[in-house]
Amino acid sequence: DSGVTQTPKHLITATGQRVTLRCSPRSGDLSVYWYQQSLDQGLQFLIQYYNGEERAKGNILERFSAQQFPDLHSELNLSSLELGDSALYFCASSVGVGGSSYEQYFGPGTRLTVT
Amino acid sequence: GQQLNQSPQSMFIQEGEDVSMNCTSSSIFNTWLWYKQEPGEGPVLLIALYKAGELTSNGRLTAQFGITRKDSFLNISASIPSDVGIYFCAGPPDDVHRQYGNKLVFGAGTILRVKS
């Protein structure tokens, strides 16, 4: 158990809909990351938040947005869903933004299926 | 962008055998990480490497940071059935302009299967 929690575990929704994925980082970690894992693209970095502020953006679509709240939990919002958005979405956390923050601890993931 | 190439893509080995896999890049990496992912789970951090030439162990696992900084190796000794999973290498891309935060790029993974 990494200490990172994600809800829900599974999500099935229709094209065009909007969903929210939730993540609580390990106790004491200030950075939260979102990654997408699909069969054709592998594990891809989406976005990082550090202590409530956006720190870095990766291949995140404009239809997707995220935020980190004062209690440090994070939400990833996916809107106008398309079939191609079906994937595993992982949250990870690390202590901060220094060198050791490359040691990221992953949650169990949310499997999103868009039908 | 910077890509990590893992080989082999998959391995099917006998229980008790030693395993070797590697990860290469055309660009220099200053940190290498190895993760293991089991079905239905998130990746689990196994080993982190920070210095060229560094050799680090975690139980039966040993990883090395290549001296060229363009590769890393993971060895598993005396494999057991619970070693089954996908092993990923990962590292932070070159971030001269400090735009990537603590982003990691991942290799495509090596699938390990163990015959008991």
Residues B20-72: tens digit of each pLDDT: 999 999 999 999 999 999 999 999 999 999 999 999 999 999 999 999 999 99
Cα distance between residue A102 and residue A96, in whole Å: 9
Q: Give the pLDDT of residue B94.
A: 77
Q: How confident is the model at residue B98 (pLDDT cuts 50, 70, 90)?
A: low
**Å from B34 to nearest chain A CA?**
10
The answer to whether the CB of B2 falls within 8 A of the CB of A73 is no
CB contact under 8 A, A43 and B106: yes
Q: Which residues of chain A have pLDDT under 70?
A: none
Q: Give the pLDDT of residue A47.
A: 96
Q: Give the pLDDT of residue B1.
A: 61
**Å from A57 to nearest chain B CA?**
7
Q: Give the pLDDT of residue A41.
A: 87
Query: Residues 6..65 of A with a Cβ closer than 8 Å to B: which?
Result: 31, 33, 42-45, 48, 50, 55-56, 58
Cα distance between residue B107 and residue B88, in whole Å: 6
The answer to whether the CB of B51 falls within 8 A of the CB of B60 is no
Q: Give the pLDDT of residue A59.
A: 83
Percentage of residues of chain B with pLDDT beyond 70: 95
Query: What's the mean pLDDT when you consider all of chain B?
Result: 93
Q: Does the pLDDT at position B79 exceed 80?
A: yes
Q: Does the pLDDT at position B97 exceed 70?
A: no
Residue predicted with more confidence, B74 or B92 = B74
Q: Does A94 touch chain B (CB under 8 A)?
A: yes
Average pLDDT over residues B61-90: 97
CB contact under 8 A, B31 and A99: yes
Q: Which residues of B touch A108 (CB under 8 A)?
A: 40-42
Cα distance between residue A65 and residue A13, in whole Å: 18
Cα distance between residue A37 and residue B42, in whole Å: 10
